Amino acid sequence: MPVRSATAASVGLLLAGAAAAWILTPAPSAPPRAATVGDCSSLAGRRLGPARITSAETIGPQGAWSAAPNERPITVAVPFCRVQGVMEKEMAFELWLPQAAVWNGKFLGAGVGGDAGAFNLRDLPRGVARGYASATTDTGHKSSDSTWMMGDPDRLANYTHRANHLLAQAGKAITAAYYAKAPRLSYFIGCSGGGRQGLKEMQAYPADYDGIIAGAPGPKTPEMTVRRMWEILRRDARPGLMAPADWALIAEEGAKTCDREDGVADGVAEDPQTCRFDPAVLQCGKERTGRCLSAEQVEFAGGFYSPMKDEAGRAIDGGLLPGVLVDSGRSRLAPATFGQAVRRDTNWNGAGFSVAGDLKAIKRVMPDLAADKTDLSAFERRGGKAILYHGWMDPAVAARMMLAYSDDVAKTMGGKATADRFMRLYMVPGMGHCAGGPGADQFGGAGSDAPTVDASHDMLTALEDWVEKGRAPQTIVASKITGGRVVRTHPLCPYPARARYSGKGSPDDAASYTCARG
């Protein structure tokens, strides 16, 4: 199906209507001069789309430049125009525009994880280096504001869905003004909360982007957030019962068990759904001494790996897979959501929390937090393409949630073959949340290019090939990097296929595997 650009049709209307539809404050008595094509400084003070530009400056080539304090420095190889501004009242954004001679004619939106409040300053330099006009938004609050949910009531809607939709409109309008030409194609990339933003764009605003990469997106974020709060309160009720080393022991032994069952001992489980592990085998006794768990610890830990149930005994999720390391830290987002957004109380300590009641409440106050719409026909009809990815060992966004969403989309869209025409899911063995873990975790998802930037190794390149050339992604080779060098490669297969060891060659070489179903 030919791609119909998500950009050119809408940018003209945005530019034409900028003076009326999106101006939210009175025009200054001395309006800023019109932007000059290719002149970065001339963008300052302009209002384009839903945006008011507060700053526009050229960043020249330099060895170590940081976009913000405490942000890792980057090497600026070629100059770019750094645009900063605000959408509506307080949704801040950054847009980096490469010089016209190196602009690839495309726009890249970059999502932000967690509770947002910051910019994606990893994918912006990556995008500019590849020739993209690249943009990101903090969604309307700052991460330093721990009580942001108590502020402007619009913030919750901006966070859950509006901000990135407006970013697409504003970013493309400014890009068109700078180059005197609208972007011909638009892409989005993000992981965790940024992945959820990608799903939301595909579901609610299908005309914003032609291609989307969404990692660890948490389609059922309300249920996921309830689980985080449930876990915190369970741990708080039994202080000192489980040390981080105890959780690590359970994860290590679970991973070893599953690794033995996939046909090759390579330190990771190819598909932990197929294995069974009971923490009871770690209970201290005559046959196990040294690193072991008490009967009380075994019972307590088992509850975390089992499906979470509400007060009526109804399962809310599918639980955690063997080998996943239970997060023994404290989520900031979950207590804030149920304390501030639900109860309007900054000092809430968990009193009165219930799985069923608070799940209902979060859906009431944040009705667009979930990104689980399965009818993607509008996105599919206009030629949109999406690549989703998820680590099997993700402790924050349970892998089973992603698998269920993929299966549900296939059912809604008329079968797996139909869904595969526009959406592919890649499950990553041994990878945690977005990255990390013993598995090969570098494949050009959110955050960085792959070590080899081509369609067989790099997801963004694979997505470009799919959107622009009609070549659907197949096997993508992931890399494990240690000490600055690739020490392992492994094939990622489109779900439900999985990599199978051939019985020959190094388990650390992708060439020793083939992708197969069943």
Contacts of 412 (CB under 8 A, 6+ apart): 374, 375, 376
Torsion angle of the four alpha carbons 373, 374, 375, 379, in this order, in degrees rounded to the nearest 10? 80
In a domain, 356, yes or no: yes
Residue 84 has pLDDT above 60, yes or no: yes
Same domain assignment for residues 64 and 36:
yes
Average pLDDT rounded to a whole number, residues 330-350: 94
pLDDT at 511: 97
In a domain, 404, yes or no: no
Same domain assignment for residues 342 and 269:
no
Same domain assignment for residues 235 and 247:
no
In a domain, 150, yes or no: yes
Same domain assignment for residues 133 and 225:
no
Same domain assignment for residues 343 and 283:
no
Same domain assignment for residues 64 and 139:
yes
Residue 75 has pLDDT above 80, yes or no: yes
Same domain assignment for residues 81 and 163:
yes
Same domain assignment for residues 235 and 254:
no
Same domain assignment for residues 95 and 157:
yes
pLDDT at 216: 97
Residue 424 has pLDDT above 80, yes or no: yes
pLDDT at 6: 56
Domain count, the chain: 3
Same domain assignment for residues 230 and 360:
yes
What six digits make up the tokens of 481?
A: 């990097």
Boundary of a domain, candidates 295, 323, 351 = 323
pLDDT digits (tens, 9 = 90+) for 20-45: 333 233 334 344 445 677 899 999 99
CB-based contact 222:48 (threshold 8 Å): no
Torsion angle of the four alpha carbons 283, 285, 290, 295, in this order, in degrees rounded to the nearest 10? 30
In a domain, 459, yes or no: no
What is the Cα–Cα distance from 265 to 284, expressed in whole angstroms?
A: 26
Same domain assignment for residues 134 and 270:
no
CB-based contact 409:419 (threshold 8 Å): yes
What is the Cα–Cα distance from 393 to 255, expressed in whole angstroms?
A: 9
In a domain, 409, yes or no: no
The H or E element that residue 295 is part of is: helix 295-305
In a domain, 362, yes or no: yes
Mean residue pLDDT across the chain: 91
DSSP assignment string, 458-493: -HHHHHHHHHHH------EEEEEEETTEEEEEEEE-
Can you give the residue range of the structural domain that contains 13?
Answer: 1-183
Same domain assignment for residues 336 and 362:
yes
In a domain, 236, yes or no: yes
pLDDT digits (tens, 9 = 90+) for 230-251: 999 999 999 999 999 999 999 9
In a domain, 502, yes or no: no
Residue 295 has pLDDT above 90, yes or no: yes
> What is this structure's pTM?
0.92
Residue 16 has pLDDT above 50, yes or no: no
pLDDT at 24: 32
